Amino acid sequence: MNGGSHLTLILGGARSGKSARAEALAAAAGGPVSYVATYSVGADDAEMRARVEQHRLRRPSHWRTWENEWDLGTIFSAADGDVVLVDCLTLWLSYQQMQGLADPAILDRLEAGLLVAKAKDVRVIFVSNELGMGLVPSAKESRGFRDLAGRANQLVARHADTVEFVIAGLALTLKGGV
């Protein structure tokens, strides 16, 4: 899986094992890895800080880490032969919404990043939550975010060479694969 553009999308629910799967794929790719952490590090939420720390401890120290960087096109342009692991798309979407962007603009930014990755011949692994399998949220904002995440997942899946769905730590290949 070395060299050449290749886009992988790893979907799953909370605590499904999707991040561990993506990290294993990145490590197995056989080259340098850039890890894009899409959660704002300065959060006041102690439980979320603990989750972020769990991810930090699990990553090899030689991986390049991008924190608090949100322009995927810039990151993919700077990849320089690295496998780029974006964990996770759902939090990236949330950040974009918090910046006041409307859904079409967010999806345009995402697609622009995907096009840069393809043009620069970068291998990218996206991790994203599948939010559409549960109950319909009662709050309008929650339904809107669930819908945005679903559209973003579909967008990435259209561009992806490989799509996997992780359940209980087991990966089910939905598209592509080996």
The structure tokens listed for 161 are 């060479």
Which entry of 6, 55, 62, 159 is annotated as an active-site residue?
Answer: 55
Distance CA 65, CA 95 (A): 18
CB 113, CB 73: distance < 8 Å: yes
Compute the distance between CA of residue 70 and CA of residue 159 in angstroms, rounded to an integer.
20
The tally of CA atoms less than 13 A away on the side-chain side of residue 74 is 5
- Return the DSSP state at 42: T
Asked if 55 is an active-site residue, the reply is yes
Strands 64-67 and 6-12: unpaired
Return the active site residues.
Answer: 55
